[in-house]
Amino acid sequence: MKPSMCTRSVQFENDILPSNLFLKKLNENKYSEELNRQVESYKSHNNTAQIISKINEQFKKITDDINSSFIENRDEIKCCRDINYYIDLVNAIVKSTDILPKRIQDNLISHVEQKWKEVPKVKHIDECKGKIDLDSIRKRCILKHLHDLKMDKDPINSSSEKYKTYMSEKWDKLIGYTKPYYGGLYVKIENDSMGIIDLYDHLLHSTDYICDDGLDNLSSDDITISTDMDSLINTISLDKISTNDNNRECYNKTYINMLKRKTSAIQRVNNFLSIGIALLGFTLILIFLYKFSPLGSLLRRFSKKKIEIDGNMSEEEMSELYENSENGRQYISYNSVSQ
């Protein structure tokens, strides 16, 4: 008799994801929902003490993770991404609600910005701090998302659907805050080994872009965001197309189609220019032949002679017409007298 075979389902745990290196303790609870509940409690308590207390508590968890996990000369950029993510999330939760008055919102944002002073280990805090305008937040979200996908490649492969659910919890509040009320928001990501054009919210919900090559060199300058898809075509750089075929998942179909449209448009312009240059060259050759060649001299003599002949013919015709008109007047006069 064969022993019974038992299977154990692998539990998906947010706090052990490699991308949550400095957000482990924060991910032990639904931190976004916790903070959101405290913001909503302002309606009944009419003070911000509980909100500030929750922010302090959550940020303390982040600094504890940094102190325990940070490796010098390796983790500073990763640490900056995670802290910026949390501060951007607080911005989104605080500013998206209509419960808090504008003055209270500003006070809370100012409080969380002061938390940068409490960040341990990071040497270049001024370089780490991100701008809080919407476009800068969007680009930071995209950069963190792409880096997190690379770090979480194994959990994604083993628990794809659960990871997508986790991504919704992770990004939905920030997407709601940074996305326009009307119309789509499109993103172009492009460097020497990446070419992606996608909807902003779709990109942050997608696990398609696990890019191993070129990601470390990707910066916010390589990201273009626009509400007009067609305008992104003009910003595609033909010089950045990689000849490396090993990582083609980082060139998505939309980008390739846009690239084809741009190269086709450039080819049409080049064709028109070629035709124009050919016609101009042919015209210049004719002018040169006319001016300086024996054939040109012959043509000029022929033209001159033709003009003289036409001129003589015109004079004869004019004389004949004049004589006819004189005879006509005499005839008219004679008839008038005879009557």
Give the whole-angstrom CA distance, residue 287 versus residue 300: 12
Does the pLDDT of residue 328 top 90, yes or no?
no
CB atoms within 10 A of CB 261: 13
pLDDT at 95: 94
Q: At what angle do helices 102-113 and 49-69 cross, to 10 degrees?
A: 20
| In the chain, alpha helices (H) | 31-40, 42-45, 49-69, 76-96, 102-113, 125-128, 134-151, 153-158, 160-178, 200-204, 229-233, 253-292, 294-338
Provide mean pLDDT across the span 124-145: 95
pLDDT in tens, 112-127: 999 999 999 999 899 9
pLDDT in tens, 81-121: 999 999 999 999 999 999 999 999 999 999 999 999 999 99
Provide mean pLDDT across the span 149-159: 94
Confidence of residue 242 (pLDDT cuts 50, 70, 90): low
Confidence of residue 235 (pLDDT cuts 50, 70, 90): confident
Does the pLDDT of residue 8 top 70, yes or no?
no
Provide mean pLDDT across the span 179-190: 92
Please report where in the chains the tokens 């595609």 appear, as a residue: 236
Does the pLDDT of residue 227 top 80, yes or no?
yes
Question: Is-above-0.75 flag for pTM?
Answer: yes
pLDDT in tens, 215-225: 988 999 999 99
pLDDT in tens, 284-325: 776 766 566 665 566 556 666 656 555 555 555 556 655 655
CB atoms within 10 A of CB 90: 25
Locate the domains of the chain by residue range.
10-132, 266-338
